[in-house]
Structure 1
Amino acid sequence: MSDVVNAVRAAMPAVRADLEALVEIPAIAFEGLDHEPVRRGASAVQRLLEEAGAAETRQLVHGAGQPSVYAHFPAPAGQPTVLLYAHQDVQPVGDESLWEQPDPFKVVERDGRLYGRGVADDKAGVMAHVAALRAFGGKPPVGVKLLIEGEEEFGSPTLEGLLRDHRELLAADVVVIADSTNWRTEVPALTTTLRGVVNVYVEVAVLKVAVHSGIFGGPVPDALTALARLVATMHDEHGDVAVEGLVTGKSSDLDYDEAALRHEAGMLPGTEFIGTGRLTERLWSKPTATVLGIDGPGAAESANALQPTARAKVSFRLAAGDSAANALKAVRAHFEANAPWGATVTVTPEGGLGDPCAVDTTGPAYDAAREAFAEAWDGTEPVEIGIGGSIPMIATFQELFPEAAILVTGVEDQYSNPHGPNESLDIAMFERVCVAETLLLQKLRR
């Protein structure tokens, strides 16, 4: 054990250098953008895995999707096989003026953290896998397969098809999905529940065309006001979601410190929390409803007119125990039943639906993971956490590989700010993650 741990620690300068090189590739899979960097990122990952000693590497593509990188390190006789997942694509940088560095794709170090788009989500996940393989000199004690996706941040639109196409190729006894977070930098975590997601467009129509707000205003409604009243019905007076039929899942014994959550979320002074129950319950095991955007005239260019139609994009996060199909049915029924002033309401799903999932944490693979994380964190036992965000493909892994143990790990912490400006990675914690994964592969040996 000490030999491979020392090997990981000795390799960390090179691992960091390769991580920084990956961050420099702006692999964004969103529609309308140049996807050449996504393909370049896939080739860079493939080279890293070849250099790590993979017996086979190739790029897998389903339909018009972005490439995923597959690699295989064959199992020694009688040993199980582990599938390691991560993704190398990243979110757009957003407003660059909010970044505290000239180029979000050039890593900088400040106060023990690395900053850059994708440095935590999820290129550090990719490099944690590479670090573990390097520690064993390319000959891990168990079989290892890798799947490094190229379009996770775009919603993994073709991943399910790719998994079904290559089900036998990717079959494994244990699946490690390195795309989550730890409870704190000093406290490791295994993610056991993830919320699902349903995004819909809600359109309200009240008039054939826009009409003068002075001449007709009063008895004649406008669509924007009707839409505002409609989306306001999604929550009760406490801020809990009021859509009948959505499920509340099992709550955790952990709880969040209120001051810490305020700081981490960047809440303004005086802003109150919404909803009821423990903060972890509201974050992990209750449904949410969020207005993501509204289509209508902009404030500066708007005319004095009653608008005939208005549309909102609304996102619902779903607790474990619910399903996307059930939630969509409940959401549609809610909006149609609460249409204000007889307005015509149309609900249209946006793209695919994501089911929530709960992970079984019993069995030898989880026992090995708990031991590995505790050793890497100098005796601090990992806690089981939920995630308010969604990784719908985990449910797909559960469906396609029902006999495999699913472990959801991660390289992020409470200050990583994935998807936002100044995304970052704690350097010391990243080394612990790499050590933990190396120890996990060692402990899974029969």
Structure 2
Amino acid sequence: MSSNSMPEASAHGVDVASLKNHIQSNFEQILEELTSLVAIPSIAWESFDPANLEKSAEAVAALAKGAGMPSVEILREPTDSGAMGAPAVVARRPAAPGKPTVLLYAHHDVQPPGDEADWNTPVFEATRVGDRLFGRGAADDKAGIMVHIAALRAVLDLVADFGVGVTYFFEGEEEAGSPSFRNFLEAHQDKLAADVIIVADSSNWAVGTPALTSSLRGMCAAEITVRSLRHAVHSGMFGGPILDAPILAAKLISTFHNEDGAVAIAGLVSNDAADVDFDEAEFRRDSGALDSYSLAGTGKITDRLWNKPALSVIGMDMPSVDHSSNTLIPQARFKVSMRLAPGQDPAKALEAFEEHVMNVDLRGAEVEFKAVEAGNAYLADLAASANGAASWALEQAWGVVPVHMGLGGSIPFIADLSDVFPEAQILVTGVEDPDSRAHSANESLHLGDFQHAIEAEALLLARIDSEGL
């Protein structure tokens, strides 16, 4: 849709032009606040300093207070193992009589930096290059936090007697698998109850084209150890009759995919359901695939990403090349992450994967299989009233009709939100685009889309206040 066909500036009780102008006038301040958050290396993994999570939670709590929240708390709950979870920020503004409540979710923890040599800019220093802001967490998901903060501030500034209840829930361990999430929801169910839940942790179709996430793949993960020797031995003295553990692990890994690159684990759900598809050239550019590389799998690229399983080896323990010696390595340990199609039970997927692993002939080598993570897929209710209001708000902000798109990634905790708050309408939105490179080096945020995301959420809140759900 072109800008010439946009509706009048005032629609659904919302002065669209005034709201957009207000956000534009405050955009540099919003970027400064995001820059301050990016500077905090808030990584929830055990091998990183937990003090940075505390610092991050405090910074986010201060922003929540500044956004007009009368109640702001930093809370924790234990994981199932008994270890204390990471700090989460819960801030509340109660609803006026007869008004609904909206829960706005994002997470303040980030992925580890990886090899800093792969970054073109400092990892934890937000750096503007053209129309993008680079830095770990600039997109995933500290931008999501700032969308929630800036949208509420704009609405409170412009909408007289704004009465919608708003709750912030800014988690601190999403990138570590949200180990205390379910316990947190159940312990604070009264504080987090809402009519609409907006999860700002997803992606848009492309730069300039917004999306509502209609589906997410589930996920599971396992650690596998292969052992062929009781101890290391000289490769010249014993090599030949003995295959070392990395060779056997490689043989095992080679069975995980068919010749066409599709996952070869029997019993996994696989669907062909996407209504749209990516242009292959654009997909290659966004993914960084080499020109010589043939894409894996069959069917539409969107189905391969949204509706079929994927399997990756994401880590392996064995000596590095720089520390290698002429030795037969007795043991290799690696971690596999699987993305699962909607409709797949994660527990059954792990059972199928373990059965596959244990049935591969590795000449009698010992194989240990340890399931470490599992999460359900998500299918949106596209008929929900909040979905229609959100689609309107996205179109007003971007000036184009939004796309309902699946996503290859996983947000397992959405299933927990649905279980604990079954009456709530859930919307999954985001600020990322195909070139944001979340979780990898040179993560970045498109600044134009970031501004539009703030506009869209502010418009949605204002419309809910005007018309309800």
TM-score by length of 1: 0.94
Say whether the 8 Å CA contact 2:155–2:461 is kept in structure 1: no
1:219 positional shift: 4.2
**Alignment CA distance shift 1:17-1:213 (3 Å):** closer
1:7 positional shift: 2.7
Say whether the 8 Å CA contact 1:73–1:140 is kept in structure 2: no
Structure 2 residue 375 is the aligned partner of structure 1 residue 354: yes
1:405-426 CA-partner distances (Å, limit 9, x unpaired): 1100001112211122222111
Say whether the 8 Å CA contact 1:5–1:135 is kept in structure 2: no
Which residue matches 1:421? 441
Say whether the 8 Å CA contact 1:195–1:284 is kept in structure 2: yes
1:257-306 CA-partner distances (Å, limit 9, x unpaired): 11122222222231221111111111111111111222334345444444
C-alpha separation in 2, matches of 1:333 and 1:256: 34
1:155 positional shift: 1.7
**Alignment CA distance shift 1:347-1:8 (3 Å):** same
Which residue matches 1:124? 143
Say whether the 8 Å CA contact 1:28–1:90 is kept in structure 2: yes
1:92 positional shift: 2.1
Which residue matches 1:321? 343
Structure 2 residue 61 is the aligned partner of structure 1 residue 46: yes
Pick from 369, 375, 385 the counterpart of residue 396 of structure 2: 375
- Greater mean alpha carbon deviation, residues 200-209 or residues 233-242: 200-209
Structure 2 residue 407 is the aligned partner of structure 1 residue 387: yes
Partner of 2:363: helix, strand, or coil? helix
1:327-381 CA-partner distances (Å, limit 9, x unpaired): 110111001111322333221122x322222222212111111111111111x11
C-alpha separation in 1, matches of 2:237 and 2:35: 62
C-alpha separation in 1, matches of 2:54 and 2:378: 30
Partner of 1:65: helix, strand, or coil? coil
C-alpha separation in 1, matches of 2:346 and 2:415: 12
Which letter maps to 1:421? A
Say whether the 8 Å CA contact 2:155–2:462 is kept in structure 1: no
Partner of 1:109: helix, strand, or coil? strand
C-alpha separation in 1, matches of 2:323 and 2:123: 33
Say whether the 8 Å CA contact 2:354–2:369 is kept in structure 1: yes
C-alpha separation in 1, matches of 2:287 and 2:135: 19
Pick from 44, 49, 53 the counterpart of residue 34 of structure 1: 49
Say whether the 8 Å CA contact 1:56–1:71 is kept in structure 2: yes
Structure 2 residue 432 is the aligned partner of structure 1 residue 412: yes
- Greater mean alpha carbon deviation, residues 161-170 or residues 259-268: 259-268
Which residue matches 2:387? 366
Say whether the 8 Å CA contact 1:84–1:144 is kept in structure 2: yes
C-alpha separation in 2, matches of 1:167 and 1:210: 53
Which letter maps to 2:151? A
Matching of residues 225-304 of structure 1 within 5 Å: 225-249=247-271, 251-304=273-326
1:85-127 CA-partner distances (Å, limit 9, x unpaired): 01111122222222222x3222222211212221111111111
Which letter maps to 2:175? E
Partner of 1:342: helix, strand, or coil? coil
- Greater mean alpha carbon deviation, residues 296-305 or residues 202-211: 296-305
C-alpha separation in 1, matches of 2:37 and 2:221: 31
Say whether the 8 Å CA contact 1:249–1:321 is kept in structure 2: no
C-alpha separation in 2, matches of 1:354 and 1:33: 24
**Alignment CA distance shift 1:155-1:254 (3 Å):** same
**Alignment CA distance shift 1:236-1:58 (3 Å):** same
Which letter maps to 1:148? F
Which letter maps to 2:211? A
Which letter maps to 2:394? F
TM-score by length of 2: 0.90
**Alignment CA distance shift 1:339-1:295 (3 Å):** farther
Which letter maps to 1:114? L
1:170 positional shift: 0.5
Paired-residue identity, %? 44
How large is the RMSD of aligned CA atoms in angstroms? 1.8
Which residue matches 1:56? 71
C-alpha separation in 1, matches of 2:355 and 2:118: 40
- Greater mean alpha carbon deviation, residues 16-25 or residues 428-437: 16-25
Which letter maps to 1:292? I
Which residue matches 1:89? 109
Pick from 98, 106, 114 the counterpart of residue 125 of structure 2: 106
C-alpha separation in 1, matches of 2:21 and 2:95: 23
- Greater mean alpha carbon deviation, residues 204-213 or residues 419-428: 204-213
1:59 positional shift: 1.1
Q: Which runs of 5+ in 1 are unaligned?
A: none
Structure 2 residue 229 is the aligned partner of structure 1 residue 207: yes
Partner of 1:137: helix, strand, or coil? helix
C-alpha separation in 2, matches of 1:122 and 1:215: 53
